[in-house]
Amino acid sequence: HGQPPPNIDEDDCLLEYCHLFSVQSAQDKVAFIIGGGSEIGFLIAQVFMRHSCHMVIASRSLPRVSTASKKLVAAKGQWCLPLSLDVQDPPTIIVAVDEVLREFGKMDILVNGAAGNFPCPASTLSFNAFKTVLDIDAAGTFNVSHVLYEKFFQDHGGVIVNITVTLGSWGQVLLIHAGAAKAAMDAMMCHLAVEWGHGNIRVNILAPGLISGTKGFQQLGGPQASRILHFLRSPLQRAGNKIIAHSALFLASPAAFVTGAVLVANGGMWLTSPNNTEMLVGFPSFPTKL
Ligand code: COA
């Protein structure tokens, strides 16, 4: 009862799919998913396509989004346009948005899912590392939203769903850069919801927690033991499943008379997070970049 279906480990399409919403619920809509080539963005793309949405997925890596697009087309049999852009580089966003508008003639839904993150103590985080994460997450979200607004949403309305985690509203070791970026995203979401609401533009946040089968889960969940303890302390006592991608479909749908809201889809984990300073042990020499 109430259990999600079995999860998948890699960026593969679900083996079985049961519709939560009507198959037509996103029919004739065009969705633009930044970061749609992998992880939660990829799942959101798949869920939207299952609901008859036209799809554009974009990231810095064209090979990654091209491979993802082939998988999505094979699973669903409809077109998914892969594009490369860098959210830190507005001219590349403008070129990509122009191409979407040429191809589809419109844009209904923007999902800002590009993010950069890695655990690192504040004391050893380089100045550029801090800035890079803010540039990708916070400035990147602003840049893409700004271009979309100017090119289409200001005259036609639209829906923006930003993907974050709740790090902006609590404290946690090793993630000052991500926390600062997510706090900025929370604030921008509120301001844009107010400033653009009169143009029938809704702006919301979907905040998943640790979702199994993602890089973030491997990277940020800590070692196995602390991870298990972490989940036992959380209300639902388990990690999230990629199926939470449906929450984005809800926020994007006309059923959501919702703007300026954060939908926290982390099993209540943020209510009980421990002060896990033991994770700091050994971190100053954290060796690898992703
Ligand atoms: N620990 C500490 N510093 C790190 C780091 C790590 N794991 N990874 C990157 N940095 C630092 C770099 O050293 C650099 O700072 P410096 O110039 O002072 O040395 C700065 O961050 C920028 O790194 P760079 O690799 O040049 O930037 P990038 O834009 O190519 O990649 C990320 C940065 C954050 C996007 C990279 O970690 C990444 O590709 N992550 C994978 C995607 C991801 O994080 N997804 C989210 C999972 S929750």
Judged against a pLDDT cut of 90, whether residue 180 lies above it is answered with yes
What pLDDT sits at residue 285? 52
pLDDT-derived band of residue 1, with 50, 70 and 90 as boundaries? low
Mean per-residue pLDDT of the chain: 91
**Residue ranges covered by each domain of the chain:** 30-280
Closest residue to atom 47 of ligand 1, CA basis: 216
The structure tokens 């090793």 sit at 174
Domain 30-280 has CATH 3.30.70.2750: no
pLDDT at 227 over 90: no
Structure tokens at 181: 């970026």
Position 290 confidence tier, pLDDT thresholds 50, 70, 90: very low
Minimal-distance CA residue to ligand 1 atom 29: 132
Q: What confidence tens digit (pLDDT) does each residue in 18-55 have? A: 777 888 889 999 999 999 999 999 999 999 999 999 99
Ligand 1 atom, smallest distance to 165 CA: 48
Q: Does ligand 1 lie within 6 Å of residue 115's CB atom?
A: yes
Q: What is the CA radius of gyration of the chain?
A: 18
**Within 10 Å of residue 1's Cβ, how many Cβ atoms?**
2
| CA gap 82, 55 in Å, rounded | 9
Strand order in the sheet with 158-163: 80-84, 54-59, 30-34, 109-112, 158-163, 201-208, 262-265
Token digits for 225?
A: 């033991």
Q: Which residues contact 142 (CB under 8 A, 6 or more apart)?
A: 188
For the cut 70, the answer to whether the pLDDT of residue 288 exceeds it is no
> What is the rounded average pLDDT of the residues 234-254?
92
Lowest mean pLDDT segment, chosen from 3-12, 179-188, 189-198, 264-273: 3-12
CA of 118 to the centre of ligand 1 (A): 7
Question: Which residues on neighbouring strands pair with residue 81, listed in sequence order?
Answer: 56
At residue 284 the predicted structure's pLDDT band, cuts being 50, 70 and 90, is low
Give pLDDT, residue 289. 53
pLDDT band at 2 (very low <50, low <70, confident <90, very high): low
Note the pLDDT tens digit of each residue in 117-137.
999 999 999 999 999 999 999
Find out whether 276 and 173 touch, Cβ atoms under 8 Å: yes
Amino acid present at 56? V
